Chain A
Amino acid sequence: MSENQMNGAEALIQSLEKIGIEIMFGLPGGSAIPLFDALYKVRRKMKFVLVRHEQGAAHEADGYARATGKPAAVLVTSGPGATNTVTGIMTAYMDSVPMVVVTGQSVRGMLGKDAFQEADVFNLTMPIVKHSYLVRSANDIPRIVKEAYHIATTGRPGPVLIDVPKDVGTEACTVGLEAEMNLPGYKPEPKGYGPETIRQIAEALAKSRRPVIIAGHGAVLSRAENELRQLAETLDAPVATTLLGKGVFPDSHRLSLQGLGMHGTAFANRAVVECDLMISVGARLDDRILGVPGEFCKNAVKIHIDIDAAEFGKLVKPDIRCRGDAKAVLQDLLPLLKRGDTADWLKRIEGFKKKWPMGYAKKGGLHPPQVIDALNKLTGGKAIMATDVGQHQMWAWQFYHCDKPWQFISSGGAGTMGFGLPAAIGAQFGRPGETVIAIVGDGGFQMTMNELATAAIHKLPVKIILMNNHYLGMVRQWQDMFYDERYSGVDLEGNPDFVDLAKAYGILGLNLKRAADIPKVLKKALEHPGPALVNVEVVHHEEVYPMVPPGKPLEETVLCHPRRKPGRPAGRKNSRPAKAGAKNA
């Protein structure tokens, strides 16, 4: 190879830079050494972040994308390096997050021969990627990178994987970086609808007296927040957001119902039960928000706007389906709308809000919602919130109020424990000037806490708020409510001293044990210029409410649990949860 000729690995790194990838998270290994060598030699602006576990790399790329709207790349080695990213790829896939994952692979001649660290990553990841490539020739690389980026970021976004055999990386790439895409079957179609569909929607909306708008991640991804607001204000219709839609409609808006579904507000769920029309803007209407699919909005007109036609009728059969980008659809729809006649409906909803306000216990120890509420006040609802998965996630969703999209980062579809800290790290890389808070549980945090190293090394000022209830709390809650308190495999005895752990990484560690100290300790963490971890010793037994029990319709939203003492020993008999259902309205 002549001096200025590039090899496949160099073509890959340069193509990623050229296409606009700004940051890459990863960890090397034998098969990926040519790729890392290229990184060393030809990288210019693109940042590389060395992680401590490849799962962290994928979640960091994910958090970066969810905070900025821009995809990041992941670069790992073959075999175990690649399989360690699988959870992260699946998490991104379930939540439609763009990502380009590059995995090293054994040399071409060894494929299928159980070579050292050979894993068939192409086939292994097939059901959890939007698309994937096994590169067979270095000359294909510029085209493949361009296609991968295009596929990851257009239509319904998602992760794309590029598996690069080691000898493809070292082979000469003689075609230059300019490449034509060749994707005859790819049809993201931002406008897969006609004027007739828009007219039908407008007519249905004009007839409705009790409309409800549901906004999801699609509305965020298409940057439709302004159009969504106009839709709501023109129709005078209340808006409920999904977990991933949080912030796309301001939580503080008079028309906001906040979240809906399993742990949504009772007033949102009740509004959905009583509506005569439901219009979903970029929500896929999954089982966590439907209650019972067949019962969901049974007597209401259902309008479903989604960029992915495969979402129509998956669980809910829509009366009007409209395939398109949420922003484009709403822009076409808005001029046809008349002012909504919903005064009675809004009055009724005000009644729901008064009757079933969101609240939480304040006495008898520290309660996670209290801490979230304090964070909300201290940050003015402006922080970027990344959560892990469990009870703390639901409380963060319920009690942190966001008025902007791209602000609340949470693993919804996959519910991946271990997501919170790396996602926060990725978000902080993407938005360096802003406050990024990771709300994590003691269980999930311990799955990826090795990424404390990444936060420390890069001096990322992420604030880790660890809700330490010494339990896999969400599972314990289910065992409490539905399995007669048979606590099986949920006691996190032997938790480390998290403050000492933070200190070991050179991170500020603080304990928070008394309600009276909440503002003081949180302020100290927030004002600290570097990363900080607050170990919050919360009550061990507390349930997330409202809750729609699994397999129950939204009518049966359970409001609260009878009050009882925290720290109650496991196994004691206890009365069943009170079904103060919104049903009895």
Chain B
Amino acid sequence: MNKDISAHNLSIYVANRPGALARIAQTFSRRGFNIESLVVSPGATGDFSRMTITAKGDEAGLEQIIMQCSKLVDVLACREHTDEEVVARELVLVKVAVDSGHRGEVLQIADHFHAKTVDLSEKSIVLEATGSSEKLDAMVDLLRKFKIIELVRTGKVIMARGERET
């Protein structure tokens, strides 16, 4: 496929109505955009939700999607943000098998990434880490040399820096 396919951060501010999520998801899928992560959370005021979507696709397609999303009756704003414009955070929970002597090594990695141990049993350890998606990728990659039993990530949430609106 296309080479200029890259990941984009989109933030959508939407009236909290039934069907809003489905309409937005359809807008992406119809145009062949694969949603990598999607976070829906209540907005600062009650009747609105904030959706943060990370999706891969080409620039022209992205422009269409932003315009098509903006046009939805429930959508107040749909914006793309570059990584530089925003603070971005993601949280991961990872359960690693630690049968014999590996526990110390796993804890060392956790320490390096400021991850917390949130559960510990004889055979496994659950780590929690927050940070940029790249940082979490790096930690998870290092942990792969042990046995990762389960992995859950929240998906990226973003907020525009300074006075800009997300």
Q: Which A residues are closer than 8 A to B by beta carbons?
A: 122-123, 126-127, 130-132, 134, 136, 151, 183-186, 308-310, 312-314
Q: Which residues from B are CB-within-8-Å of A122?
A: 19
> Could you say which of B47, B48, B67 has the most chain A C-beta atoms within 10 Å of its C-beta?
B67
Cβ–Cβ contact B70 & A309, under 8 A:
yes
Given known contacts A122-B19, A184-B15, A185-B14, A309 and B71 CB-to-CB distance under 8 angstroms: yes
Given known contacts A134-B19, A309-B67, A185 and B26 CB-to-CB distance under 8 angstroms: no
Given known contacts A184-B76, A309-B70, A126 and B23 CB-to-CB distance under 8 angstroms: yes
Which residues of B from 63 to 116 have beta carbons under 8 Å from A? 63-64, 67-68, 70-76
Given known contacts A122-B19, A185-B15, A313 and B64 CB-to-CB distance under 8 angstroms: yes
Given known contacts A123-B22, A126-B19, A185-B74, A310 and B14 CB-to-CB distance under 8 angstroms: no
Q: Which residues from A are CB-within-8-Å of B68?
A: 310
Q: Chain A nearest CB: distance from B72 CB in Å? A: 7
Q: Which residues from A are CB-within-8-Å of B47?
A: 184
Cβ–Cβ contact A151 & B22, under 8 A:
no
Beyond A123-B19, A184-B48, A310-B67: 16 further Cβ-contacts under 8 Å? A126-B23, A126-B26, A127-B26, A130-B73, A132-B19, A136-B18, A183-B73, A184-B15, A185-B72, A185-B73, A185-B74, A185-B76, A309-B71, A310-B68, A310-B71, A312-B67
Q: Which B residues are closer than 8 A to A by beta carbons?
A: 14-15, 18-19, 22-23, 26, 30, 47-48, 60, 63-64, 67-68, 70-76
Cβ–Cβ contact B73 & A127, under 8 A:
no
Q: Which residues from B are CB-within-8-Å of A131?
A: 73
Q: Which residue of A lies closest to B65 (CB)?
A: A310
Q: Which residues from A are CB-within-8-Å of B60?
A: 313
Q: Which residue of A lies closest to B77 (CB)?
A: A185
Cβ–Cβ contact A134 & B18, under 8 A:
yes
Q: Which residues from B are CB-within-8-Å of A123?
A: 19, 22
Cβ–Cβ contact A310 & B64, under 8 A:
yes
Cβ–Cβ contact B75 & A185, under 8 A:
yes
Q: Which residues from A are CB-within-8-Å of B15?
A: 184-185
Complexed CA–CA distance, A310 and B70 (Å): 9
Q: Which residues from B are CB-within-8-Å of A136?
A: 18
Q: List 12 A-B contacts (CB under 8 A).
A: A126-B23, A131-B73, A134-B18, A134-B19, A183-B73, A184-B47, A185-B15, A185-B72, A308-B71, A310-B64, A310-B67, A310-B68
Q: Chain A nearest CB: distance from B70 CB in Å? A: 7
Q: Which residues from A are CB-within-8-Å of B14?
A: 185
One of A186, A313, A314 near B73 (C-beta < 8 A): A186
Q: Chain A nearest CB: distance from B27 CB in Å? A: 9
Complexed CA–CA distance, A127 and B22 (Å): 10
Complexed CA–CA distance, A309 and B63 (Å): 11
